[in-house]
Chain A
Amino acid sequence: MSPTTLYSLCGAALVGIGLYGLLTDPRVLRKIIAFNLVGSGVFLLFGVVARRGADAGLSGDPVPQALVITGIVVAFSATALAVALLLRLHETGGGATLEAAAEGESTERPAS
């Protein structure tokens, strides 16, 4: 098995595990971690593509490497935003799951 195949299989496995966690676990913190697993899997695939697409003179295709840096920054910001929201939710007494959200209450205005 060539290294690129091995790495792409690892990437696919990470995506699969992460998606499973995102869909099945009700705890939001676990969901955020699962999202990061999916992200890592995708970034690994970017690395595989960079190596596979390398031209003769270069050790790797630079474009996917540039893309993956952007992707990591975006995933980091997304995680920070999600954790900040979760902390605020916990502070306001909303717990750390999304199950208690009742749709009927969501338009209750503070004034009424």
Chain B
Amino acid sequence: MLAAGPPAEGGWLVATILWPVIALLLVIAGGERFAARVGVLALPVGLAIAVVVALGVSGAGELGYHVGGWAPPLGIALRADGLSAAMLLVTAVVASGAGIYALADFGTPRVGSSGRTSLAFWASLLGAWAALNLAFLGNDLFNLYVALELLTFAAVPLVSLDGRAATLQAALRYLLYALVGSVLYLLGAVLLYGAYGTLDMGLLAEAARPEPATWAAAALMTAGLFAKTALFPLHLWLPPAHAGAPPAASAVLSALVVKGSFFIVLRLWFDALPGLATAAAMQFIGLLGAGAILYGSALALRQQRLKLLVAYSTVAQIGYLFLVFPLAFDAAAGRLVAGAALTGGLLQAVSHALAKAAMFMSAGLIAVAFGHDRIAELGGLARARPASLLAFALAGVSLVGLPPSGGFAAKWLLLSAAVSTGQWWWAAVIVTGGLLTGAYLVLVLMRALAEPAATAAPLRPVAAWREAAPLVLALLAVLMGLAGVLP
């Protein structure tokens, strides 16, 4: 049972969810002309609220709030712990970066152009932000279902903003995967409610017993969430959807949206059903994660186009998140324990969010400058647009896991957990994945550092300020590892 935090600080949790919704309504009310202005003004306020919540969590350890003053099992509780606070913060940072970057694509519409795309972008960005915050704070499995669905409804329009047939197809395929995922999740939730009469995670943790109904519910919910997180082999929707979206939207989708459903998997296994984990089930989840790392990296190596390479890299990096489950399993106690492996997984989620957002944004700028994103024809990039390439490379440093990046700290914690629990095979997967990541990023860098082909068309101009957002996000990803050194 969670202790209700001080009301004032608990109230900030509500503000975290409500502010993007209020801003979303203002964007729609303001219409096409004011969408970008309202949206961009809403970003710093949301960031400030996330900082207040994070400070509150670091002071009190945990914040709670009972919506409407009703305690579970009748009411719905919101809860913020360290995991939530970290995810809230990184979501606010990445959403702000994506918003600033998007001002060039989805700013105030020029005379004669339709601003509907701009309106759709800002509404979807704020909607996804609200849904993510709800997913990070919800303590009730049905409440989390609503968060998942809101997230899907906000993310699908982001995929098909440009309205071409290929992206519409990608969006539709994404929506169908997501709907199967959420209906399986809902089926699991009804089984849990039927068995225990509550969907509050704190109460479920006390009541749940390892029996067939719980097993079936956990399996259904986990499978549904895997489809939404695009864990191998349910990743097929991700590359076309993330690579086809406009860069600012890709950044949000790849960095944040897939983390929402991953976070709910964490909550489900660590908080709601901690006693249900078995060694075989956790090894199986780890096996899917390892499959994602190896398969995603191998396919990234084979891509001809930069944005698809970055999208397949997301498939691979998602795999690391799921290595948490075998590594956090305490075989002696027969349950999952929150330790170094969980911290490593959280760091991976945060550092990948920063790095991947930076990578998609810089890939977008490169595509604007060249008019295409064929990797083989990127010669001259280093001389023409050094800042874009620097952002891409710094983000790559974190993805590969070189010190002092956040990716290094994450993979180091996962590796040491693998060694200390004697599961050397996961250590081998982590190291192999790092090598493959290094290989596909070095291939891009080699092309970018080469001389331009004699027949290459002149590059189009790109405003220098657009390079700021990816550079800052990539620097944050690289420097994040240093934050672990500080107390």
Contact = CB atoms under 8 A, between A and B. Distances in A.
Interface in B89-135: none
B400 interface: no
Contact of A31 (B170, B176, B186, B187): B176
Contact of A35 (B146, B169, B180, B194): B180
Contact of B197 (A46, A53, A88, A107): A53
A106 B166 contact: yes
B364 to A, nearest CB: 10
B183 A35 contact: yes
B166 A108 contact: yes
Given A78-B149, A85-B156, A106-B244, A98 B179 contact: no
A15 B167 contact: no
B169 A100 contact: yes
Contacts of A64: 190, 193
B447 interface: no
Interface string B40-68: 00000000000000000000000000000
A74 B144 CA distance: 13
Interface stretch (B366-374, B435-443, B469-477): B366-374
B172 A98 contact: yes
Interface string A39-76: 10010011011001100000001011001001100100
B156 A105 contact: no
A103 B165 contact: no
A61 B199 CA distance: 14
B183 A38 contact: yes
Interface in A80-103: 81-82, 85-86, 88-89, 92-94, 98, 100-103
Contacts of A15: 187
Contacts of B145: 71, 74
Contacts of B307: 107
B172 A89 contact: yes
B89 to A, nearest CB: 28
Interface residues of B, number: 47
A2 interface: no
Contact of B142 (A45, A70, A81, A86): A70
A59 to B, nearest CB: 17
B194 A85 contact: no
B137 to A, nearest CB: 18
A22 B180 CA distance: 8
Given A35-B176, A78-B153, A93-B165, A106 B372 contact: no
A105 B169 CA distance: 12
A35 B367 CA distance: 37
A85 B160 CA distance: 9
B113 to A, nearest CB: 14
B193 A63 contact: yes
A38 to B, nearest CB: 5
A74 B149 contact: yes
A71 B186 contact: yes
B193 A110 contact: no
B357 to A, nearest CB: 18
Contacts of A28: 172, 176
Contacts of B187: 15, 42, 45
A88 B168 CA distance: 8
A42 B183 CA distance: 8
Interface of A: 15, 19, 22, 28, 31-32, 35, 38-39, 42, 45-46, 48-49, 52-53, 61, 63-64, 67, 70-71, 74, 77-78, 81-82, 85-86, 88-89, 92-94, 98, 100-112
Given A28-B172, A107-B305, 6 more contacts: A64-B193, A78-B175, A88-B160, A98-B173, A106-B167, A106-B244
23 contacts: A42-B183, A45-B194, A49-B190, A67-B193, A74-B149, A77-B153, A78-B149, A78-B153, A78-B175, A85-B171, A89-B168, A92-B163, A94-B168, A94-B169, A101-B170, A103-B239, A103-B308, A106-B166, A106-B167, A106-B170, A107-B306, A107-B373, A109-B372
